Each structure stands twice: as C-alpha cells, then as structure tokens.
Structure 1
Amino acid sequence: MNVLLVNDDPLELEQLKLLIQSVCPHWHLFAVCDGSAAMDLTATTYFDIAFLNINLPAQSDLLVAGKLRQSGRVTDIVIVTAHQDFSIARAAIKIGAVDFLIKPISVDELNAILRRYLQKEVPRPVYSPLITKVLTILEHHYADRLSLANIAAAVHVNPSYLSRRFKAEVGYSFSKYLISFRLKIVKDLLVSRPDLSIAQIAEKAGFASQQYLSALFHRNTGLTPREYRKNNLDFRRSSGNLLIACGRRHGPDCFPDDNRR
C-alpha cells in the first residue's frame, strides 16, 4: 500500500512516519514537506491514502487536498489538523476527505484508521514449499549467476516442471521475476549507496554488465540509472531525507512494460 505524508514540520512528519511504520512496516511511505512536492509525486505514483496536514506553505491545505482528489491518483485523504473547527471539517468533507486526526495525534485514533486499511489488504500469497524454497534462494543469491536450470537442480526438480509451477503460483515467469527483483535491488542501491558506481551496482545485483542493466532500467523506468539516482537524491535532500520505501519481499512491482510471459 502506498501512503503519502504531507507536512511542513519535519519533526511531525518523522513522528507520523514512525507511528505508521510501527503498525504497518510493509507499507510504502512517501513523506514530503509541501503541497507542490506532493503533486509532483502523484505524477508518477498512485496512493491509497494521503495524510495531509492543513498548515502547508505556498498552497492552502484544502486546495492541495482538492487537487490530490481531482488528480485521480489518491484514493483517500485523511486531514491532520490542530484546529477543531467545524468549518474546516465541513470543507474537508466537501473535497472528499475520509477522516480527521486532531493534533496532538492520538495513537489509538491513528491505529483505528490504519486497522481499517489493513483489513482491506489482500492477504499475502501462501506458496507451496517448493516455490517458497525457490523464492528464498532468489532473495539470498540474486547476485549469483542464476538460471532456471541451476535453481531446478538445487531443488531437485525438472526445469520444465519448475517453470510451470513458478508461473502458476507466482503469476510471472521465473526470468521476469528474477529481473524485476534485481531491478528493485538496483533502485535501492542507487539511492542508499551513492558511493557505488553503476558498474558496481550492476555486479552486486547480478546483472552481467552495466550496459545490459542500463538498457533494462531505461526500458522499465524511462530513466537511466544515473538520472534515477540524481532525481531521488535531489528529492531526498529537498524533503529532509524522508522518502521511505518499505518492503520488497515476494511481489515485484517494477516489471518491464511488455506483457507477462
């Protein structure tokens, strides 16, 4: 689940982030300090929930909330405010806010909201012991020279049989899943390890060459690895280093644009 946090106070932003992470550690949290940055994020990302503080610089809180709703990129908006004013509540309801949190935020009230969304989540898939073992191998050895054949040998099954079982249970071919998983590793390293070169990252993620990685990465994101790194590092600096990406196990979300095979 993608969650947008918008607040011009970095301390409050960090506190809300930590409260949500303590209950929903697998959610993807994106934290920004102003409305324009929030609108920029919605250009590339859909959000299930936006927690929007009403005291925003440059644009009024309700104007930002209205724009987020009109964009079609945010499903639900929760207003966070220190003002217990009925006119604010009425205006928030008018633009489609689904809930209110009064500051200082009550942990019980926040958790009640979070639980509603947790109940809506699709349960994580339960894989067979065979596929669970294969996924574990991929997660621990993605940097190695992996192939369907050597994975099949490691789990003592026929490659054709493993290919069919993997596609049936995971929903993606073995090769597509492996590429996607490695690309997610690359994205993490590009931002978390600015000291590494693109060639070093390619090697750490299991790609045969920097050129091959760059071609796949551009096909997937429309950016070169260097452009992706620069954009994300610039954003993190401008937003107080509060852009959070949580979780990466079992469920790739960065498959190349072509159809599943």
Structure 2
Amino acid sequence: MRFSVFMLGVSAMFVGGAAYADTTVVPASSLTSSGNYYTDNIGDIVVMTGGGNAPGIGNPSGRNDDGFSGPIDLGFNFTLYGNTYSSLYINNNGNVSFGAGISAYVPTGPTGANAPLVSVFFGDVDTRGANSGVVHYQLDTPGQLIVTWDNVGRYNGRSDLLNSFQLVLRSDDFVIPTNEGQIGFFYKNMGWDQTDTSQVAAIGFGDGAGNATILEGSLSSGLNRVVQNKYIWFNANLEPVPSGVPEPTTWAMMLIGFGVVGVSMRRRQRVRVVFA
C-alpha cells in the first residue's frame, strides 16, 4: 500500500536535490523558549480528502497516514515566494501546500515536493495509532489560519512517541502584533523525528521549484530536540522576527549585571560617607 506514496517521496527528493543550491538557513538560535501553542483553541478535526493509497481517507475521526485535505478556502490572500494564494491544502505529514496536496513523507528539506509549501515539521506523521491525536484547524480570527498537529504519532501506526506542533498563518494585510510575525511555528513536546521509513525531518519553506528557507538542523538527526518547547515567528520575507523576550541565559547575565551595578553603587555611597 505504500509503494506509490514512496515513489512520490523519491520524485520529491529529486526535485529538492536538483534545486537545493538556492537555500537560506535560519539559525536555531532564532528559536525562543515557550512550551505552549500560540492558542489552545485548535478547532475542528481535519478530515483527509486525498492522498492516493493513503489509508484513512475520508475517515471522520481524522486518523490517517499520508493524507491531505483541500483545497481549503482561506477567506484571505497569502503570498509566498511572490505568488498569492487564497486556498491551501493541509497535509498530514506536517506541512501545508499551495496548488496541490502532498502525500510525500520523506523530506529532502522544504523542497521535498514539487509544490510550494510551509513545513512546520515535515516528517512521516501517522495518526492511526491508538494513542495518537490528529490534525486540527480553525479560521475563527479573520485573516488567520491555525493548524495543529496535536500529539501525533509516526509511521507505521506507532504512538509510543508523540509530537505536538502548531502553524499560525496570516493574511498579507493582517495587523501584526508587536514581536509577532505573519507565520509562526510553535512546538510543545516533540518525541520523534525518525520513523521506519524516514530518518530525518525538515522545517521551513519551499517554492516547489528550488528556492528554500530551512531551519538549522533540518535533515539532521535530532531536529525534534532542537525545537521542543520553542517557537519562531517569520515576517513576509521569511526572515525570523526577534521575540523581544530574553532567553534564560540572557536574564541571568542581566541579573548579574544589575548585581554588579548595585554593589558598585553601594561602594560609592560608602566612599562618600567616609570622606564627607
């Protein structure tokens, strides 16, 4: 049942490999510690509408392997790599795409398929396991889509380890709050990146024709640990947005600095008293 899907993965690898020269790598230091979704309102279950031989298509429970749903009308315009879209496909394997659904489960980076896509965590997600959650989405806020892969398992129906991650995607004219962006990736517990069929995962963006922006650590073992309990915002140019929230180490250095200043001030005050 997986043969035709595997061929999609192989062709996707060829497309990605042929055009992988034009790639921007976002440093992992751009991630900010959190451990929360952007919103806990994860919305409705995504019922998969396609995916070739993907098991679980049309299942109202949302449980499936390698399926996709769409096209889904956004009700707003979103521009990626110079092309503007008003609909997209939600793909079970950790991404959304434009113009076509994607069943590929072996990433060679965000260009792992011949369609433009946004990869929150492109890996071999399989939600058929008894303990696995499924994919959800909501469009409750005008101009904003939320897609959540909530406690999802991995191929082949395994739910011993689970991943939880969320996409925030906003319209071209959305009024962006301070320290946020047009596209957000949010990660909670991330238990896996390897499956029986794929040894790596990928995070980032691809235009389906070779241009890509990927997070450092993509296509390397341990990407799940890199992003666990972190988040990152991107602006319309796919550049990371500074969070404005100091990391714990930064806070520690600031506190040390404040302490040094305080001691220095006390010493100066004592000197003034002695020589008064």
TM-based fold match above 0.5 = no
Higher strand share: 2
When normalised by structure 1's length, the TM-score is 0.22
* Highest RCO, 1 vs 2 (Cα 8 Å, sep ≥ 6): 2
When normalised by structure 2's length, the TM-score is 0.21
